[in-house]
Amino acid sequence: MNPRLGVNENDLEIAAAIDRYAAAEIAPQAAKLDEQAQSATCHVPGLSTLGVMGMNLPERWDGPGVSPTALVLAIASIARHCAATASMIGAHYLATDSILIGADDSLRALYLPRAARGEILGAFALTEPRAGSNPADMSARAHLDGDQYHLIGVKHFISNAGEADFIVVYAKTDPQAGNRGISAFIVDKNTPGLQISQPEKLMVIRGGHAFEVALDCRVPASQRLGEEGSGFRTAMKVLDNSRLDVAATSLGIAEAALAAAVSWSRQRLIGGQPLADKQGIQWMLADMKLRLEAAWALTLQATHKRSLGEPFSMESAMAKLYASEAVGFITDRALQIHGGYGYTRDMPLERYARDARILRIYEGSSEIQRTIIARRMLAA
């Protein structure tokens, strides 16, 4: 792991420890999780001993209190070995970030310490069948009835939902108020009227399960995060954080693919000469390295602003956009360098290439990131 601008020794030591663990405990199971679509939640106990399940949380709520930079490096380290595990962790962070940002201390105390210790797993339910990129289009409703809210609606592609102990659900409490009418609620897994489908049959990150969630249930008003109508603001702040997680996942996969390509180009002989001696291959590797380092620079720039407590919506959008597109380029070129061998399941290249594809879609598609960036520029 090479030191980069803005990364200190402590950050590197944390990431290196997690990388060693992931190499020993997670990597050997990565192909099996993908091949058999087994849930990456099997790694929660081990990751919890390292503090990873609460790495996004401050010490007050039993998190390790690490820097945002250490968090990004850690996710990249895990994704190098298993993107599904990184995805599962990211979905958990979406839920706990929602509580950290939007809830009061009573709810934080009830959920965050246990989530940080890996005793309970979270999920984040924002997306709907007809409301993905624009949450204002959501049709899920939450109607106050006495001291309870009646939640009705359907959420789609909700990572972790089937294995989660709680789901943070976003629904409209005032359908006429647009974004300002969205509120957030914690729904526990045993709540009557909560129905969760079988895992979706996914092309990529098969160990990071996604589900459809049907809601016709009642939750106490005390389970609402913050004031009515504050849900959209909470979700947008959570997604700023999550886009850095996606960028980090992209970087981890890209690093693994580039390392494999370099190794293969040295070993593979064509006409008695290593592929690495061919100028065409050298230029491909150079282009891959260039995009990787540019993606790291954008991601660390956004992470630095987050560390300072400054707004970083545009920076996180740029990092997520560039890194997710860069990993697509890098995995494609790495597979090309491997030739027919890269296309087989005996090597991890085809998994890297498949896993990379979803990163341009979830937590806001590439098109949405471009819209965020342009609007920020035009508003300046």
Token representation of residue 285: 């590797």
| Lookup result for tokens 């009515």 | 228
Nearest-angstrom CA–CA distance, 15 and 4: 13
**Residue 17, Cβ density class (10 Å: 0-12 exposed, 13-18 middle, ≥19 buried):** middle
Token representation of residue 188: 């526990």
For residue 169, the cross-strand partners are 125, 185
Say what the pLDDT of residue 211 is.
97
Which residue, 136, 364, 125, is CA-closest to 239? Answer: 364
The H or E element containing residue 322 is: helix 313-338
Q: What is the per-residue pLDDT across 335-346, written as a single tens digit (0 to 9) for each? A: 999 999 998 988
Which DSSP category does 178 fall into?
Answer: G
Token representation of residue 312: 């970083």
Nearest-angstrom CA–CA distance, 55 and 245: 12
Say what the pLDDT of residue 3 is.
57
Say what the pLDDT of residue 6 is.
73
SS3 label, residue 214: strand
Which residue, 204, 208, 299, 290, is CA-closest to 248? Answer: 299
344-350 CB contacts, 8 Å cutoff, 24+ apart: 345/31, 345/35, 347/260, 348/30, 348/31, 348/256, 348/260, 349/257, 349/260
Token representation of residue 17: 């420890």
Nearest-angstrom CA–CA distance, 10 and 57: 17
Are the C-beta atoms of 100 and 108 separated by less than 8 Å? Answer: yes
> For strand 166-172 and strand 122-125, is the pairing parallel, antiparallel, or unpaired?
parallel
Q: What is the DSSP string of 252-304?
A: HHHHHHHHHHHHHHHH-EETTEEGGGSHHHHHHHHHHHHHHHHHHHHHHHHHH
The H or E element containing residue 48 is: helix 44-49
For the chain, domains (ranges, CATH) are 9-116 (1.10.540.10), 122-229 (2.40.110.10), 233-379 (1.20.140.10)
Q: What is the per-residue pLDDT across 137-192, written as a single tens digit (0 to 9) for each? A: 899 999 999 999 999 999 999 999 999 999 999 999 999 999 999 999 999 999 99
4 φ, ψ (degrees, to nearest 5): -130, 165
Say what the pLDDT of residue 135 is.
79
Active site residue 212: no
Say what the pLDDT of residue 143 is.
98
Are the C-beta atoms of 85 and 18 separated by less than 8 Å? Answer: no
Are the C-beta atoms of 148 and 189 separated by less than 8 Å? Answer: no
For residue 360, the cross-strand partners are none
The residue type of 144 is: L
Instruction: Check 128, 163, 315, 363 and give the catalytic one.
Output: 363
Which residue, 217, 159, 207, is CA-closest to 186? Answer: 217
Threshold 0.75, pTM exceeds: yes
Task: Please list the rounded mean pLDDT of every run of 10 residues in the chain (380 residues).
Answer: 74 96 98 95 98 98 97 98 98 98 98 98 94 82 97 97 98 95 97 97 92 98 98 97 98 98 96 96 98 97 96 97 98 96 91 96 94 93
